[in-house]
């Protein structure tokens, strides 16, 4: 039997304050969120990467375009406009916004462990789940703020520095024309339409294009007298074509290109900007949440960052457009594929170069319903949050 002498005075009872501070609750306090925010935003390297990708690179890109256009407007197009907006958002901010958000998530999910702070925090008696959940609003406050600032700058420049005329296939065309109006315009600008618009046969376009001057000593069709082999036999290019024939050909070309022309705008619409803003914010949120959960699971930062870069830059582009019959459902479960399916209309899918259906030579997205896409996205957020929280709760500190 062990005998010990009690050498101390009677203990003071634990103050009532302690009993009411909900220390065992999984809900983090406001103070925990704000101090976690402070901890993250003072990481210089991470913040530089975050600012550079979300704000710096778009600002430099648009700034250079603004300057070059101001210096030599004939050689350099306007800084803003619909095309610049879609290219910048879908081609850069969406993809790399995910990557840097994942870096922030991986940082938030691992640094307490790697820097020895996790142990101090556990000893406070605070719920481990609350410690985990405090990271989510803190990290998202940084990530979404940066995305919002960068995206706002892009929107402002693209709206206020937009071209005054729509440049379609290198030709200045009035924006927003109806089909008859475009036909009328094409008839009056037949040479430009025939020389510069893309067309690929079809009604009214069976023969060779009329021979019209395109500038620089070039012409639109083969020289008069050239014999051309077609499916119906041989055709000899006439010495000259009547203006009516030329106008008819131009109208046919314009008709063929109308759908494509109609999806081009001088400036992105307000609804499109709102939709796209929410879309890239969601993408950044997913990057952060997945990074947070994966880093919490693995207890380190580097490997999760590499894995998420591979997912976003290599696996997603491949799996989104190449059907592997046995893995189709797995492909549908990739969050990048689901995000591509819910992207706002009129935006080129990242790495595809031409809308969600894909441009010429690009495979269409693998089939997936909007409901499935939504469930996949929600699933990724919920599952990775749960995995990270579970690991946080069970990990030895």
Among 83, 110, 127, 296, binds another protein (CB under 8 A): 127
CB of 14 to another protein, least distance (A): 5
72 vs 396 by CB, closer to another protein: 396
- 18 lies in the site for another protein, by CB under 8 A: yes
Dist. CA 159–CA 289, nearest whole Å: 32
**Does residue 13 touch another protein according to CB under 8 A?**
yes
What does the radius of gyration of the chain's CA atoms come to, in whole angstroms?
Answer: 30
Pick the piece of the chain touching another protein (CB under 8 A) from 13-21, 230-238, 247-255, 337-345: 13-21
Residue 40 C-beta: closest distance to another protein, Å: 10
What DSSP character marks residue 24? T
User: 14 or 371: whose CB is closer to another protein?
Assistant: 14
Among 126, 301, 321, 341, binds another protein (CB under 8 A): 126
**CA distance linking residue 332 with residue 319, whole number of Å:** 8
Print the binding letters for residues 58-97 with another protein: x by CB under 8 A, - otherwise.
----------------------------------------
| DSSP assignment letter at 265 | -
Task: Give the closest residue to 303 by CA, choosing from 53, 91, 114, 97.
Answer: 114
Helix, strand, or coil (residue 172): strand
CB 318 within 8 A of CB 327: no
- Smallest distance, another protein to C-beta of residue 395, A: 9
Q: Looking at the DSSP assignment, which residues form a beta bridge with residue 215?
A: 218
How far apart CA 108 and CA 26 sit, in angstroms, is 18
d(CA 252, CA 247) in angstroms, rounded, equals 9
- Candidates 73-81, 109-117, 239-247, 296-304: pick the segment binding another protein (CB under 8 A): 109-117
Question: Does residue 144 contact residue 76 with C-beta atoms inside 8 Å?
Answer: no
By CB under 8 A, is residue 227 in contact with another protein? no
- Residue selected from 63, 73, 125, 215 as contacting another protein according to rule CB under 8 A: 125
Q: How far apart are the first and last CA of the chain?
A: 34
Chosen residue from 90, 102, 103, 131 binding another protein by CB under 8 A: 131
Contact in structure between 210 and 249 (CB atoms under 8 Å): yes
CA distances from 21 to 5, 31, 137, 188, 383 (A): 35, 12, 20, 77, 29
Give strand pairing partners of 378. Answer: none
Residues 267-286 close enough to bind another protein by CB under 8 A: none
Task: Compare residues 21 and 260 and give the one whose CB is closer to another protein.
Answer: 21
Q: Which of 71, 72, 74, 115 binds another protein (CB under 8 A)?
A: 115
Is residue 106 part of the contact set for another protein (CB under 8 A)? no
Smaller CB separation from another protein, 40 or 53: 40
Q: Is 5 in the site for another protein (CB under 8 A)?
A: yes
Query: Rule CB under 8 A: which of 144-163 touch another protein?
Result: none
- String of DSSP letters for 207-251: SPPP--EEETTEESSPPTT-EEEETTEEEEPPS---HHHHHHHHH
User: Within positions 26 to 65, which residues make up the interface with another protein, using CB under 8 A?
Assistant: 29, 31-32, 34-36, 38-39, 42-44
Maximum pairwise Cα distance, the chain: 121
In the numeric block, which tokens belong to residue 231? Answer: 């499916």
Only segment of 10-18, 79-87, 142-150, 229-237 that touches another protein (CB under 8 A): 10-18
Taking the C-alpha atoms of residue 267 and residue 204, their distance in angstroms, rounded to an integer, is 32
Residues in contact with another protein by CB under 8 A are 1-14, 17-19, 21, 23-24, 29, 31-32, 34-36, 38-39, 42-44, 111, 115-117, 119-127, 131, 396-397
């Amino acid at each position: 039997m062990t005998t010990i002498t009690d050498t101390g005075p009677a203990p003071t009872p634990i103050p009532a304050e302690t009993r009411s501070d909900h220390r065992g609750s999984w809900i983090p306090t406001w103070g925990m969120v704000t101090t976690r925010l402070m901890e993250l935003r003072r990481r210089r390297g991470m913040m530089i990467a975050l600012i550079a990708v979300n704000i710096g690179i778009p600002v430099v890109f648009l700034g250079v375009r603004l300057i070059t256009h101001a210096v030599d407007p004939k050689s350099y197009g306007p800084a803003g406009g619909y095309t610049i907006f879609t290219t910048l958002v879908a081609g850069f901010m969406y993809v790399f916004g995910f990557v840097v958000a994942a870096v922030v998530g991986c940082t938030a999910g691992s640094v307490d462990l790697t820097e020895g702070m996790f142990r101090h925090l556990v000893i406070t008696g605070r719920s481990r789940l609350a410690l985990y959940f405090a990271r989510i609003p803190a990290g998202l406050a940084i990530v979404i703020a940066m995305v919002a600032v960068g995206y706002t700058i892009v929107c402002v420049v693209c709206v206020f520095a937009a071209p005054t005329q729509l440049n379609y296939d290198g030709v200045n065309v009035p924006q927003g024309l109806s089909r008859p109006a475009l036909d009328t315009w094409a008839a009056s600008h037949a040479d430009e339409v025939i020389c510069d618009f893309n067309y690929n046969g079809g009604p009214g376009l069976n023969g060779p294009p009329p021979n019209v001057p395109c500038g620089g000593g070039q012409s639109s069709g083969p020289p008069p007298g050239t014999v051309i082999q077609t499916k119906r036999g041989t055709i000899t290019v006439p010495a000259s074509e009547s203006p009516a024939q030329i106008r008819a050909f131009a109208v046919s070309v314009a008709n063929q290109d109308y759908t494509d022309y109609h999806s081009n705008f001088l400036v992105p619409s307000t609804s499109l900007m709102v939709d796209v803003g929410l879309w890239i914010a969601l993408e950044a949120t997913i990057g952060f949440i997945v990074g947070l959960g994966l880093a919490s699971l693995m207890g380190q930062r580097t490997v999760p960052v590499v894995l998420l870069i591979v997912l976003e830059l290599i696996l997603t582009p491949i799996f989104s457009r190449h059907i592997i019959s046995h893995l189709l459902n797995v492909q549908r479960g990739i969050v990048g594929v689901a995000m591509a399916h819910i992207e706002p209309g009129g935006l080129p899918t990242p790495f595809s170069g031409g809308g969600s259906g894909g441009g010429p030579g690009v495979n269409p997205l693998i089939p997936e319903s909007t409901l499935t896409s939504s469930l996949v996205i929600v699933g990724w957020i919920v599952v990775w949050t749960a995995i990270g929280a579970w690991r946080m709760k069970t990990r030895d500190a």
